[in-house]
Structure 1
Amino acid sequence: MSVEEHARRQAAAMERNGCWPGHSPWVRSAMTALPRHVFTPDTVWTWDGHAWEPLTRSVDEKRWAAAVYQGPFDATVTQLEGGLPSSSLSCPSVVADMLDSLRLDPGHRVLELGTGTGWNAALLAHRAGPGVVTSVEVDLHLAAEAERRLAAAGLVVAVHVGDGAAGWLQGSPFDRVIATYAVEEVPWAWVEQTRPGGRIVTPWGRLGHVALTVADDGASAEGWVQGLGMFMPARGVEQGLELHRVRERHPCGPKDAVFGRAAAGLADASLLFALRVLLPDVRVSTDRGAAAATAWLHDAHSSWACLTDHPDGRTTVERGGPRHLHEEIAGAWEQWEQAGRPSLYDFGMTRTEHEQWIWSEVDGVRRRWEPTLAPRPVPGAAA
């Protein structure tokens, strides 16, 4: 199958899964005109279960194309640093969702943080027009390659080498700001460099993305969670040990513990987001196997747990390390339920110059959420 055929199959899969945004038809047009593979480096990386394996287009184009176009919900790793992924082409469904959330119009001045391969900048330029998109990339090599690809595609985008957290003051104010990497705290520079009424779209905490609107007085930015997805962190952020490495360092301890809930319940996107807020260092993944559902928990450093559902209704726990992650998860789960089980789209974020917080709003009541603490009502919020 040719690269072009892979691209067409992925576009069809996006259609079947409802991934093309109905309110932003330009996204599909842009992705068709500027296909993903045009902005993909010659070598990409795939996980073979034990290590990252390079796939080079000039050596095996069929496997390379399959890795570039795995599916609507699959990212393609394009760079390793220290043995871990440091840059990728985000999964196309998330790219489409974030571009839709940006509410981009022709002529808007756009700041992109994290140029990567240049594909997202190309899509932005396709919509906004020539000479109005500025992209900042911390990696000199990535920036140079992206600039080359953008020029080859006939697109006028200003690519600069710099720290994305600082934005790009020389070009401000911008109408739209979009980041392609996850941040724990939205840099205040991004708010300062966005005009009042402008929009900032960024992944938060490697789990979901938010769209913030800058207030008329420029003193804050606020908005709702837009979707759930995994993202690369900013460069220099400790990525921690992967699950299998945590398990190697901390072998299995007790095996006879029983978890009071089904592991399958941890697949709920709204619950996952609430857990991410309450337990920011605990990572959760689930697998609905043929025999039983399992959920893996780890803190990237010291502790892990595996929850397994059984046909008799029990859910057992295996774990290693000093923390009892299953008990922490159970407590946070209870807090989410006591708060009214807010959905993913009931959550939002507020950013001021000195503070950032996550809130949820259910039935007109807004609650502020803090790590490891039960959500509490916000003074002055609607009752």
Structure 2
Amino acid sequence: MRATAPDVDSLQRRLATAMDQRGDWPDRSAWIRDAVDALPRHRFAPERIWRWDGHTYAPIDHSRDPARWASEVYAGPDAATVTQVTDQLPTSSLSCQAVVVDMLDSLLLEHGHRVLELGTGNGWNAALLAWRAGPGSVVSIEADPDLADTARRALSAVGTVVDVQAGDGNHGWAPDAPYDRVIATYAVETIPWAWVEQTRPGGRIVTPWGRLGHVALTVAEDGQSATGWVQGLAQFMPDRHTLRTEPGYTQVRARSEPATERPWHRDLAPLRDDVHLQFALRVALPHIRITLAEDADGLNAWIHDAQQSWAALSAIGGARTIVTQGGPRRLADELEAAWDTWLAQSRPALYDFGITVADNGATQYAWVNDPMTGPRWPIPRD
């Protein structure tokens, strides 16, 4: 049995009010709030959800603790609810409500549009899409067949008609192409050409990119390219292949011995606090992963390239930091150079960046300020 309706309804209203106070409900897409009210996220949350307790993902079962379960589902505008954990890695979630709303607004969805969703999860986003586009207008692809079955049941329970298919979202779904709108719920490093190919000229593709921002691309009239601007922040899970194959800092650090050591003379706080710098570094250094943590001596950073190179920026007290680097690349030096470039470009905001995809996907690059004349950075192929 689910938590009593008044408890869940109260939490739902509190979350809606919090988003109202922050201005998260978009004026140009007023339908989204109506859809979220009609199809609240708890209707798609499974019996068991998961919470990080600082050491591991611990289960929260609705049958044992309905109040805690409900509080986790409605933890806040920026809080995702982990709904699946595999080998101690989160592999599916109910995305945070503020980002779901922001991405739906970016999609510019209208009634009657044919929609392809990549990454069904538990079906909540698909239900919201169908609320706007209409019954039978949405096809959704889920990599996990069991999760696809779960989504079908949840969608059926709320009376929503969505065609849920099990498959690889990166391949799109050719049988029902072309689509007016394509939206992904997981982050990609490169834009799959199948998404462009299966979208009508003038159609729109919205996807998390680079695990930090989401972009909205418009397909050219000749169907041979797609380009568009970054729309906002979106820290989504990567596709399952990336999630399972990318090593972490500890693994990379073990592959090479320290090679250089020197003082670091730059405040690390912007790496933690400035999302615009974070995005610019992600564009310039696509393979670098940065983790930060603070201790009694100050802010520390650990950097790796998922291959053999790493750097540790270690606070040693007295506002001093030491850089140790190993592997064939000097990642801290590259980080400083990219940081200086961003400063020299007058600190462009993440919304000043965009992406272009062309040549059957072989050409992909990020740009700033202008897709034709602005500085650009190639996006490496997966």
Q: TM-score, normalised by structure 1?
A: 0.87
Decide which of 112, 117, 127 is 1:107's aligned counterpart.
Answer: 112
Which runs of 5 or more structure 1 residues have no equivalent in the other structure? 373-383
C-alpha separation between the residues in 1 aligned to 2:298 and 2:276? 18
Superposed CA offset, 1:87-123 (max 9, x none) = 1111111111100000001111100000000000001
Q: Give the CA deviation at 1:14.
A: 1.1
**Matching residue of 1:296:** 301
Superposed CA offset, 1:276-301 (max 9, x none) = 11222323355689x88635333275
Decide which of 239, 262, 269 is 1:234's aligned counterpart.
Answer: 239
Matches within 5 A, 1:209-220: 209-220=214-225
Decide which of 348, 351, 354 is 1:342's aligned counterpart.
Answer: 348
1:151 is aligned with what amino acid?
A: S
Matches within 5 A, 1:105-144: 105-144=110-149
Matches within 5 A, 1:61-210: 61-210=66-215
The verdict on how the C-alpha distance between 1:250 and 1:62 changes in structure 2, with shifts beyond 3 A counting, is: farther
**Matching residue of 2:58:** 53
Corresponding residue pairs, total: 368
Contact 1:143/1:161 (8 A) holds in 2: yes
The verdict on how the C-alpha distance between 1:221 and 1:363 changes in structure 2, with shifts beyond 3 A counting, is: closer
Q: Give the CA deviation at 1:163.
A: 1.0
The verdict on how the C-alpha distance between 1:223 and 1:65 changes in structure 2, with shifts beyond 3 A counting, is: same
Q: TM-score, normalised by structure 2?
A: 0.87
1:155 match: secondary structure? coil
**Aligned Cα root-mean-square deviation (Å):** 2.8
C-alpha separation between the residues in 1 aligned to 2:69 and 2:206? 30
C-alpha separation between the residues in 1 aligned to 2:180 and 2:12? 31
Contact 1:181/1:234 (8 A) holds in 2: yes
C-alpha separation between the residues in 1 aligned to 2:379 and 2:199? 29
**Matching residue of 1:368:** 376
The verdict on how the C-alpha distance between 1:10 and 1:300 changes in structure 2, with shifts beyond 3 A counting, is: farther
Contact 2:120/2:142 (8 A) holds in 1: yes
The verdict on how the C-alpha distance between 1:319 and 1:137 changes in structure 2, with shifts beyond 3 A counting, is: same
Superposed CA offset, 1:55-77 (max 9, x none) = 11111112211221121111111
1:357 match: secondary structure? strand
C-alpha separation between the residues in 2 aligned to 1:30 and 1:127? 8
**Matching residue of 2:229:** 224
**Matching residue of 2:357:** 351
Q: Percent identity?
A: 51
Which runs of 5 or more structure 2 residues have no equivalent in the other structure? 1-5
Contact 2:214/2:230 (8 A) holds in 1: yes
C-alpha separation between the residues in 1 aligned to 2:62 and 2:314? 40
Most deviating of 298-307 and 266-275? 298-307
Contact 2:50/2:81 (8 A) holds in 1: yes
Structure 2 residue 350 is the aligned partner of structure 1 residue 305: no
Contact 2:78/2:97 (8 A) holds in 1: yes
1:64 is aligned with what amino acid?
A: W
